[in-house]
Amino acid sequence: MAAKEYPKLKLDRSMALFTEAKELCPGGVMGIRRPYNFVEGEYPIFIDRGYGGHIIDVDGNDYVDMLCAYGPVILGYNEPEINDAVKRQMDEKGFCFSLVQKVQNDLERRITEIVPCAEQVVLVKTGSDATSLAVRIARGYTDKKYILRCGYHGWHDWCVENHGGVPEEVSSLTIEFEYGDLEELEDKLKEHRGEVACIIITPVSHPNAKPVLAPPPGYLEGVRELADRYGVVLIFDEVRTGFRVAMGGAQERYGVTPDLATFGKARGNGYPISLVAGKREFMQVLEKKVFVSSTYFPNSLEMVAALKCLEILEREKVQDALWQRGTVFLERLRTIVAESGVPATVSGIPPMPFITFDKAEGDAEKEYRQRREYFYTQTIRRGLFVQPYHHWYIAYRHTPQDLEFALGAIAEALELTAEEFPSAKGR
């Protein structure tokens, strides 16, 4: 049976709340959650609740969610074991004090047992906290100023992609290089020889709106060798890959150990916690030379959640399940895209699949953008919550039925896209 157009979702309540929000907050909501990062007018803006691998918006629409809160939800929404552990801590011991609680040691010890580079650990709250702290450690250790960067690393001055509000004197100290190109990286190390503090790289490449790439054979080893040869600190930004591609992160799966690494997102299944882990030699600068502090970094609820999340990940062998399900999902996805004839690329690693739309040479009308918007309009109307510019995730609570539903929605959306844009078929 041929795929058919679905009607636009009822989003009245979401839109009313957004109108209200814009009076209260600049833009209504912040950053990547703004409507222009989806398909404006087609996606909900306010969520009411989540369960398993699903979310329900304020208008009552239920979606299979493969964005997973942009990555923190590795298990599922509203996990009882984690919530119960957090409630016990809240009710029996409290969580915010002038000093730290023992659970800090417990969690940091577990990280040192799991993560290859982790001889010492500092717990913070967000991915941007962690990457910024790692860079500060590197600068403190080397007394050098330049940062060589590949990938997205957050919103702080040294790495934010929109330079509004950032002095040029600050942004010019961060130099970008292309993932997979060792020659370019070495050229930039040579150009700034003796002035580079660190290389910071996402070990799995996940640029905005572009294919997700696993490291080419020998690439991470080459980056490690260049860091050693030029005497710079190597940082792996594992905010997305940590505890998702393996318990010890991408460094464990791909067998290359950095000097420092940052972890977040899947660390607490939605509770705000991240960390910097690293070799003692580098981490020691935090004792006196480099300062880090926050009123809320020592709060224990997130640490309790992270410990329980670790327990579940290990007990259930979650990463094995994600790779098994994701491998099948990616294979099916490639077949569906190939059979559709739509010029699109399937990329990613099993826990992090993605579809991007190909730009044809001479596409002055930017038809690939129109195809992309139309495709994501069709998927959201069918109840699949994925994002046009950000790769997707598979969560542990996504059932076989959820994943089958997702593939069905994608197949129908691609069929309709091919009909809507027949000039693109077979390019």
What are the pLDDT digits (tens) for 72-100? 999 999 999 999 999 999 999 999 999 99
- Residue 309 reports pLDDT greater than 60: yes
**CA distance between the termini of the chain:** 25
User: What are the tens digits of pLDDT across the range 128-144?
Assistant: 999 999 999 999 999 99
Which two structure tokens, joined as six digits, stand for 338? 């190939």
Confidence at residue 360, expressed as pLDDT on a 0 to 100 scale: 76
Confidence at residue 379, expressed as pLDDT on a 0 to 100 scale: 98
Gap between the Cα atoms of 165 and 204, Å rounded: 29
For the chain, give every domain's residue range: 12-77+318-424, 80-315
Confidence at residue 25, expressed as pLDDT on a 0 to 100 scale: 97
User: What are the tens digits of pLDDT across the range 377-391?
Assistant: 999 999 999 999 999
121: left (phi over 0), alpha (psi -120 to 50) or beta: beta
Nearest residue to 103 (alpha-carbon basis) of 133, 73, 123: 123
**CATH code for the part of the protein at 12-77+318-424:** 3.90.1150.10
216: left (phi over 0), alpha (psi -120 to 50) or beta: beta
Q: Fold identical between 12-77+318-424 and 80-315?
A: no
Q: If you average pLDDT over every residue of the chain, what do you get?
A: 96
pTM reported for the whole predicted model: 0.96
The answer to whether the CB of 233 falls within 8 A of the CB of 373 is no
Nearest residue to 203 (alpha-carbon basis) of 116, 325, 136, 333: 116
Confidence at residue 2, expressed as pLDDT on a 0 to 100 scale: 83
Confidence at residue 424, expressed as pLDDT on a 0 to 100 scale: 55
Convert 172-202 to b/e letters by CB count within 10 Å (16 or more is b).
ebbeebebeebeebbebbeebeeebbbbbbb
Q: In what order do the strands lie in the sheet with 384-385?
A: 47-51, 54-57, 62-65, 384-385
For the chain, counts of helices (H) and of strands (E): 13, 13
Residue 392 makes CB contacts below 8 A (sequence gap 6+) with 66, 67, 68, 348, 352, 353, 354, 386
According to DSSP H, which parts of 64-126 are helical?
80-92, 103-114
Q: Which CATH architecture has domain 80-315?
A: 3-Layer(aba) Sandwich (3.40)
Neighbours of 5 (CB within 10 A): 12
Which two structure tokens, joined as six digits, stand for 143? 């007394």
At residue 16, the 3 state secondary structure works out as helix
Instruction: Please report where in the chains the tokens 């997700």 appear, as a residue.
Output: 212
What letter does residue 212 receive in the DSSP assignment?
-
What letter does residue 44 receive in the DSSP assignment?
-
Gap between the Cα atoms of 118 and 236, Å rounded: 12
User: What are the tens digits of pLDDT across the range 212-239?
Assistant: 999 999 999 999 999 999 999 999 999 9
Model confidence at 365, in pLDDT bands (50, 70, 90)? low
